[in-house]
Chain A
Amino acid sequence: MSKMHVKMTVNGSQVEGLAEPRTLLIHFLREQLGLTGPHIGCDTSHCGACTVDLDGKSVKSCTLFVAQANGAEVTTIEGLAAADGSLHPLQEAFREHHGLQCGFCTPGMITRAYRLLQENPTPSDEEIRFGMSGNLCRCTGYQNIVKAIRAAAAEMAAGKEAAE
């Protein structure tokens, strides 16, 4: 079973590579593209550490073959900061509100929260908890993660208003 030619847009850049169809997207991102932001936590579709954005949806990249992602548009945690290096409001808020301890779950948390705030820019705490329920954290107890997402939502809404 030969390798296939895969092409996708990752964090705004066209990338290409040869991979076996069975290669999981997370391995392609980490090992072939060197994007080690998305982590492998459970490898069984439970923890959400491997979450990336695929064609405008949050997905667990440990449960998707690279072949399925061929032609897709992918955003990882590496793609969230601005080109000048300034952090995304969610990244700022996680730092400010102590939304992480060991940091292992954080790339998946932030990438998922990024999509959640696109889907619902003004979530209630309950909606944040439900929207983040595919991401597990062994450290924080979630309080500060919810706080950080709430703060980022307010920040992004204010930024949008200022721009209008």
Chain B
Amino acid sequence: MIPGAFDYHRPRTLDEAISLLASLGEESRVVAGGHSLIPMMKLRMAVPEHLIDLREVAELRGIAVEGGQITIGAMTTQQEVIGSEELASACPILREAALQIADPQIRSLGTLGGNVANGDPGNDMPAVMQALDAAFVLRGPEGEREVVARAFYEGPFTTALGEGEVLAAIRIAAPAAGHGWAYEKQKRKIGDYATAAAAVLLELEGGTCRKASVALTNVGDTPLHAADAEAALVGSSLDAAAVEAAAAAARAIAEPAEDGRGPRAFRVHLTGVMVARAIEAAKRRAG
């Protein structure tokens, strides 16, 4: 499969990348790891005339954990996320989720920024970012702005990223010490997108849940922040009734497509199963 022809650009700085995007116009696209874009180009579902490769933009790399604030450059690869001990201790759900994405070769090039900017409801990191209440730092010709993950996704492959903007970094307030976490994903095989998946973060105090975050992958047009599921958990002891109430709240917002991953009713059911498992796992880890 041969993609359409394009001109290739390799800027060295973010400013250069942004001015290239502005001058080349709407037929230009940035490429990060290429592991969503290139398959689309091979199918000619994407036919950009200019590819702006971000691989040498040093400002887009790097992981910093400082004073409870985590900043991850958009070009950080999944493999780098997995390999970072700093991240694994400050925010372990990131490693857990990254290990469930695709396969080793794809994780060595695929980036965190590409995963969240892509807008495919199958991508795993967007729901994790919604559970973490992360913010995306967007840079464009007009400067910098932040959009929270919970407001970023508008529809399949449609996001708040403006034309001419580049996702520069992801900012996350580190979850409290002692929090519980889990990313539970059901897939048919390694390298498959989720049939349903759930990201859960919990904080407990004396056996009572004082904070809960729940978000869902691939059971809607966008990742879904499950606020009602959270409300079902907060104030409870995470007993069976609370877990089932949260699972029911998640099922209520799931609108999965009917595809090779199964009929709609099955995927809705599975959404509840993933949420329940993720709550149980997060509860075991909290403390």
Contacts and interface: CB of A to CB of B under 8 A. Distances in A.
Interface in A1-51: 1, 4, 20-22, 24, 43-46, 48, 51
Interface string A68-98: 1010000000000000000000000000000
B55 A60 contact: no
B39 A59 contact: no
B34 A63 contact: yes
A60 B33 CA distance: 11
A135 to B, nearest CB: 8
Given A48-B105, A58-B105, A67-B53, A22 B2 contact: yes
A65 B257 CA distance: 32
Contacts of B5: 1, 20-22
B108 interface: yes
B97 to A, nearest CB: 15
B51 interface: yes
A131 interface: yes
B79 interface: yes
A4 to B, nearest CB: 7
Contacts of B191: 46, 133-134
Contacts of A46: 191
Contacts of B102: 134
B287 interface: no
Contact of B38 (A1, A65, A131, A134): A65
Interface of B: 1-8, 10, 31, 34-35, 38-39, 41-42, 49, 51, 53, 55, 79, 102-106, 108-109, 190-191
Given A58-B105, A58-B108, 10 more contacts: A20-B5, A21-B6, A21-B51, A24-B2, A45-B106, A63-B38, A63-B39, A65-B8, A116-B104, A132-B104
